[in-house]
Chains A and B, each alone.
Chain A
Amino acid sequence: DAKTTQPPSMDCAEGRAANLPCNHSTISGNEYVYWYRQIHSQGPQYIIHGLKNNETNEMASLIITEDRKSSTLILPHATLRDTAVYYCIVGAVNNNDMRFGAGTRLTVKP
């Protein structure tokens, strides 16, 4: 029973920004938002995480709303290699049972 809601699938044109939404209306004050992706049959790959401030790294940006009930992962210039299932997860930093839901299947098209 994942605590997040994501659209099952999205498409994005190559070179454009991919904006993946996630709703987490029951998030607690000590819970972070984590994003992972899984390319084909590989192991999931950590992308980024945040608590309440927006975050950016070499892979993506994470925008968290002020009320923390939703967030958006942004891939600024999507490539074909970004085609994957993207998982949004919430959990405390000492949570040892991170629940992965179904995620969003992002397809980047030429």
Chain B
Amino acid sequence: DAGITQSPRHKVTETGTPVTLRCHQTENHRYMYWYRQDPGHGLRLIHYSYGVKDTDKGEVSDGYSVSRSKTEDFLLTLESATSSQTSVYFCAISEEDRGGKLFFGSGTQLSVL
């Protein structure tokens, strides 16, 4: 299995609080992604990174920011969490020029009350 670790695995928070999810990889892959998965919507891309300090928006980026200061870490931040951001969040990585061959982490279950 690809070396991807997501933390925390589960988090419960209150509306309006900031939340940061971490994705850590040991594969030295250039590309990293954050997806969310909701019933009826499948997996949707939030943000992705194509290198240190290089990020871009995905399909559902509103309300989220990301940072990548090191190759191995990709952080997803909810500046002010809302109930609509209750979801399962998956991090994924891919090698350069292998954009479609993704390796996923185990996910973070986030509940915003």
Residues of A participating in the B interface, judged by any CB pair closer than 8 Å? 2, 32, 34, 36, 41-46, 49, 87, 89, 91-103
Contact = CB atoms under 8 A, between A and B. Distances in A.
B74 interface: no
Overall SS of chain B's interface: strand
A53 to B, nearest CB: 16
Contact of B43 (A34, A42, A95, A100): A100
Contact of A91 (B35, B50, B97, B99): B99
Given A43-B104, A94-B99, 14 more contacts: A34-B101, A36-B102, A44-B90, A44-B102, A49-B100, A87-B42, A92-B100, A93-B99, A94-B97, A96-B50, A96-B99, A99-B45, A99-B59, A100-B42
A41 to B, nearest CB: 7
8 contacts: A42-B107, A44-B102, A87-B42, A89-B100, A94-B99, A98-B45, A100-B42, A100-B44
Interface in B77-113: 88, 90, 92, 97-107
Q: How large is the interface on B (under 10, 10 to 19, 20 to 34, 35 or more residues)?
A: 20 to 34
B104 A45 contact: yes
B58 interface: yes
A49 B42 contact: no
B43 to A, nearest CB: 4
Given A34-B100, A89-B100, A96-B99, A44 B59 contact: no
A44 to B, nearest CB: 5
